[in-house]
Chain A
């Protein structure tokens, strides 16, 4: 029987056994990694965005070194690819795609949404970004340039969206609640009400 035909749970158990026997990865490390992966949700990224909207020093750190900023917000980044954060402004809107596969900042956004991995999104986002985001109801001003970030290698990229008008005086928790995963990928922008 080939590896491809092997029953997946048996295959997984066998690989884990070999990794443990070779002292490459312990059961405890695997359990720890599963726990971290399961705990990661877009809520973590949203919290970082809200913090950046409120605290100029944190915003500067986030744009300078996303990994450090995530750690400062209590996200475990050990063993994770470096995180880069790109800022949306009136002049530039960022849209993240991985045309090759599904590179995604899992540490801060959790599992990628199903459409992020779809052939359709991957093929179209890089060719017709305005058309794609329009289908999400996102229409940018004519004067805003769109920057498609094709995330294909060792970094993982997250978008820092613009703080929506009408949120003056809001605290971090209330701000974080309006930030959705699509806002941090760039298909949508945060809205209120």
Chain B
């Protein structure tokens, strides 16, 4: 097993739209696709809900609390505030690596 990403790692949510390719069950909100965030904490490993929903044997995925800056998400977002979301490791890319 690879080491989970440490807190402070800068990541980008994949700019991907699997819903365009067929039936899916996705826990990564649309408004975060392609957005940059920072890992706040590792929450543990969980079976991939994208598999469970279709009764496929699920992969175990690392789950992270990832922090986003509201002004990078919404025109009206307040700089200095925060949006904190659980994102599975399969949806995260390292930023600037």
What is A's interface to B at a CB cutoff of 8 Å? 82, 84, 92, 99-100, 126-130, 145-155
| B44, B49, B86: most-surrounded residue (chain A CB, <10 A) | B86
* A4 CB to nearest B CB, Å: 16
Q: How far does the alpha carbon of A154 sit from the alpha carbon of B86 in the complex, in Å?
A: 8
Establish whether residues B86 and A155, one from each chain, have CB atoms under 8 Å apart when the complex forms: yes
| Chain A contacts for B85, CB-based, 8 A | 149-150, 152
Q: What size tier do the contact residues of chain B reach?
A: 20 to 34
What is B's interface to A at a CB cutoff of 8 Å? 27-29, 31, 43-44, 46, 49, 63, 70, 74, 76-78, 80-88
The 23 listed contacts between A and B (C-beta, < 8 Å) are A82-B43, A84-B43, A126-B31, A127-B74, A145-B81, A146-B78, A146-B82, A147-B81, A147-B82, A147-B83, A147-B84, A148-B70, A149-B85, A150-B84, A151-B86, A152-B28, A152-B29, A152-B85, A153-B88, A154-B44, A154-B49, A155-B63, A155-B86
- Which 9 residue pairs are nearest across A and B when measured between Cβ atoms? A153-B86, A147-B82, A150-B85, A154-B46, A146-B81, A148-B83, A153-B27, A149-B84, A152-B27
